[in-house]
Amino acid sequence: MTRSLGNIAAVVTSGTLISKIGGLIRQLVIAGTFGVGAAYDAYNYAYILPGFCLILLGGINGPFHNAIVSVLSRKSKREASHVLCTINTLTSTGLILITSILLIAADPIINIVGPGLSPEIHKIAVIQLQIMAPISLLAGLIGIGFGSLNAHGEFFIPAISPVLSSLVIITFVGIFWFDQGAVIESKQLAVQGGVTLAIATLIGAFMQWLIQIPALKRKGISSFKLSWDWRHPGVKEVLKIIGPATLSSGMLQINVFTDLFFASGIIGAAAGLSYANFIIQAPLGLISNALLIPLLPTFSKLTHPKDQEELIARLRQGLMLSTASMIAVGAIFMALGTPIVTLIYSRGAFEGSAIELVAGILIAYGFGMPFYLGRDLLVRVFYALGDSITPFRLSVIGIVLNVFFDWLLLGGPTPSGNQLPFNFGAPGLVIATVVINCFTCTALLGKLNSRLSGLPLKDWAQDGLKLLFSGFASGCTAWIINTRIQWPFGFISQTLDIGLSIGISIYVFFLLGQILRVKEVGELIMIFRKKFIRLPK
């Protein structure tokens, strides 16, 4: 029996939610153990390239995952197993080379990504990079395996796998913290703590790969044989998507590096971006996995001209569901940015200016959340249609524009000082990214409009405006409740305050959405009630 999109989304949502909770606990343990000391500061530089590979290649909705799902969902198990074996062989060979480079050239690499690091932090970062270098190889294996599982109807294991990595880090770092009994301050303990964190990260990545092996065997698509059959049509099809898709996704990471480059001139900006990004990634990842993962195989099966009407219906469904969910969440972040940051992070040295900095960044992130998920959805439609060149070209344009807007919104910094009379600070870096994502969404929709012989963009825009109105009203509601109701000071009262504000805000959003007859608002409610989402007639 075919599983409904709602059931699949419920499975993915539950697994992702567990992983997000694990990630939150992981971050709290790391913060409690290392604070912003040398061990964790060095880790952020050492993890740039291994983490880049893990996100880019091994991440759910990454290019490896998407390419495998797009192709294998149309193949028999026997052919899928052969394609998987060959792709594993080819990518592992390349990633072994990359791992070797990271091991051998760790010192100059850290000099490049962190030229201003102190000798102590530089030394720790070099050691950590050498320890975590094999993550590059594991990342490719993880992404390919998870894509294969999704293509054959297994969604829970890929969704829950990140919690294994979090549990390993929580265990290792927690034991280290308990053993030391205090914040890590001495140079010797900083090195030991840094090594502990790096080893835990490597083992966590290994566990993510290990957990998929039994599931792949159950599906009959597991094979560890070497295969160089790169001429196989299925292999060619995967490689045709993986290459440009990896470059396209890599462009997004280059944008992150660009932001960090400009952030280096603002005290605390890089840390602030990281803290705020962690908050937005929880709902963004949860909703993205719940909506995009089930839809990708559906898009891939609707590429025939006779299925164009249904493809457009699914595209509208995906866009409206993602837009509705992101507007609702974005409104909450914009209205409750400061209280949310205070509740999560306000401990120890994290107060005052730090809260103000991260809250400002979080508000900027909230403004752009619909464009983040909308862009991801549209890119995956192009992947399903076998076109990874268009998203790549737009990503290249986006990099150039991102550099310009980063420079512009920071007041035009030059060696002789700022050239412009305004400076939006760290939030300006986020706004620049929002502008680029808005441009990309518009361009991708325009391309799809031409390719699919016309989309009902006017009707979609009208419903989009209704969602924006609902989001504005719900955000105002949350702000009024939070500022007008006086609660006694304390963690529990803060939690109740924010929880009440969020709950009523979401209720107002969905109520207005249904009153304004945006049908996907009702479908969004059903998707998390494990009911079937029906296509518009």
pLDDT digits (tens, 9 = 90+) for 227-268: 676 677 767 777 766 666 666 566 666 777 777 677 666 665
Percent with pLDDT over 90 in the chain: 14
Higher pLDDT, 238 or 131: 131
Least confident of 6-15, 47-56, 400-409: 6-15
Matching residue, tokens 């910094």: 413
Average pLDDT over residues 416-438: 84
Determine the Cα–Cα distance for residues 135 and 152; give it in Å rounded to an integer: 25
Q: Give the per-residue pLDDT at 76.
A: 61
Determine the Cα–Cα distance for residues 51 and 201; give it in Å rounded to an integer: 10
Q: What is the pLDDT of residues 306-356, one digit of tens each?
A: 777 888 888 888 888 888 889 999 999 999 988 888 888 776 545 677 788
Three-state secondary-structure class, residue 417:
strand
Check whether 301 has a pLDDT greater than 60: yes
Residue 449, Cβ neighbours under 10 Å: how many?
A: 13
CA triplet 54, 440, 272: central angle to 5 degrees?
Answer: 55
The secondary structure of residue 186, as a DSSP letter, is S
Average pLDDT over residues 507-526: 82
Q: Give the per-residue pLDDT at 266.
A: 66
Check whether 400 has a pLDDT greater than 70: yes
Determine the Cα–Cα distance for residues 236 and 254; give it in Å rounded to an integer: 27
List for the chain the helix, strand, coil content (%; round to 5).
Answer: 80, 0, 20
Matching residue, tokens 């959003």: 509
For the record, the structure tokens of 39 come out as 């061990």
For the record, the structure tokens of 49 come out as 């390239």
Determine the Cα–Cα distance for residues 99 and 126; give it in Å rounded to an integer: 14
Determine the Cα–Cα distance for residues 412 and 410; give it in Å rounded to an integer: 6
Q: Give the per-residue pLDDT at 213.
A: 81
Residue 56, Cβ neighbours under 10 Å: how many?
A: 20
How sure is the predictor about 524, in pLDDT bands with cuts at 50, 70 and 90?
Answer: confident
Determine the Cα–Cα distance for residues 15 and 12; give it in Å rounded to an integer: 5
The secondary structure of residue 418, as a DSSP letter, is E
Q: Which residues contact 91 (CB under 8 A, 6 or more apart)?
A: 64, 140, 141, 144
Q: Chain-wide mean pLDDT for the chain?
A: 78
Closest by Cα among 332, 161, 123, 147 to 246: 147
Closest by Cα among 332, 308, 352, 386 to 66: 386
Residue 349, Cβ neighbours under 10 Å: how many?
A: 9
CA triplet 206, 212, 213: central angle to 5 degrees?
Answer: 95
Please report, as a single letter, which amino acid is at residue 63: P
Q: Are 248 and 391 contacting, i.e. CB atoms less than 8 angstroms apart?
A: yes
